[in-house]
């Protein structure tokens, strides 16, 4: 077993659980859809969070190329970053309840402080991981951009402004689409 295989087993498990959780939450809420009051911003975040989780899983491949030697501190830092993805994934949708209406707008604003605090943590640790594990420049697009967006996420955690939340929701969605379109990672099997 290579170091990459050993490291990514647990990392894949965390991201797999995050995706399983959100897919299950979407399915459960769909089953009781007549009692669910939809909110477009919450739905946009659901899509963004799914893309985020899938893209992070994809991004792990680069570690198979770049990392021959691992230290526990590097592994711990990566796991903390991936755990943050799991945590904000669990917050984006409420649990389906047996009775009563579920208002996704009310849910969104009731969890936004924790949701965006965890997103900010994830973005700041992504910057550090891009620098320490992937060898990106300390001051470069892969370290500065996540840090800037992390600051924007802190703003979302601190404000109740619906205009700010709508703007950041659209911004993050568009940014994540652009980020994925510029990813040039290739996965191949070399014998």
Closest CA to 92 of 68, 66, 119: 119
Q: What is the pLDDT of residues 90-132, one digit of tens each?
A: 999 999 988 899 999 999 999 999 999 999 999 999 888 877 7
More confident residue, 180 or 82: 82
Query: Are 3 and 70 in contact, with CB atoms under 8 Å apart?
Result: yes
DSSP letter at 93? S
The number of helix segments (H) and strand segments (E) in the chain equals 7, 2
The pLDDT of residue 31 is: 95
| φ and ψ at residue 37, rounded to 5 degrees | -95, 110
In this prediction, residue 66 has a pLDDT band, given cuts at 50, 70 and 90, of: low
Phi-psi group of 102: left, alpha or beta (phi > 0 → left; psi -120 to 50 → alpha; rest → beta): beta
Please enumerate in sequence order all residues whose Cβ is within 8 A of that of 166, keeping only pairs 6 or more positions apart, or say none: 41
The pLDDT of residue 135 is: 72
For residue 40, the SS3 value is: helix
Residues 16 and 54: their CA atoms lie apart, in Å, by 9
Residues 96 and 35: their CA atoms lie apart, in Å, by 10
Torsion of CA 95, 98, 99, 102, to 10 degrees: 20
Strand partners, 103: 37
Domain boundaries, the chain: 3-181
Residues 118 and 150: their CA atoms lie apart, in Å, by 10
Q: What is the pLDDT of residues 15-63, one digit of tens each?
A: 999 999 999 999 999 999 999 999 999 999 999 999 999 988 888 887 7
Average pLDDT for 184-191: 69
CA dihedral sign, ordered 61, 59, 108, 101: negative
What are 67's two structure tokens? 């990392």
Q: What is the pLDDT of residues 122-178, one digit of tens each?
A: 999 988 887 777 777 778 777 788 888 999 999 999 999 999 999 999 999 998 888
Residues 62 and 184: their CA atoms lie apart, in Å, by 11
Residues 109 and 111: their CA atoms lie apart, in Å, by 6
Give alpha helix (H) positions in 3-103.
Answer: 3-31, 40-59, 62-66, 72-91
């Amino acid at each position: 077993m290579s170091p990459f295989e050993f490291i990514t087993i647990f990392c894949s498990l965390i991201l797999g659980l995050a995706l399983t959780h959100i897919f299950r939450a979407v399915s459960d809420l769909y089953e009781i859809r007549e009692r669910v009051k939809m909110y477009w911003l919450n739905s946009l975040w659901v899509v963004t969070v799914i893309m985020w989780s899938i893209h992070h899983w994809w991004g792990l491949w680069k570690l198979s190329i770049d990392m021959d030697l691992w230290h526990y501190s590097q592994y711990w830092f990566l796991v903390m970053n991936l755990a943050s993805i799991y945590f904000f994934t669990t917050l984006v949708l409420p649990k389906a309840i047996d009775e009563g209406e579920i208002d996704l707008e009310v849910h969104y604003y009731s969890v936004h402080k924790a949701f965006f605090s965890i997103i900010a943590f994830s973005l700041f640790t992504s910057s550090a991981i891009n620098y320490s594990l992937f060898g990106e420049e300390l001051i470069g697009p892969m370290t500065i951009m996540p840090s800037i967006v992390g600051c924007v996420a802190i703003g979302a955690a601190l404000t109740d402004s619906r205009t700010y939340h709508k703007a950041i929701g659209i911004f993050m969605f568009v940014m994540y689409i652009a980020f994925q379109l510029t990813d040039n990672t290739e996965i191949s099997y070399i014998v």
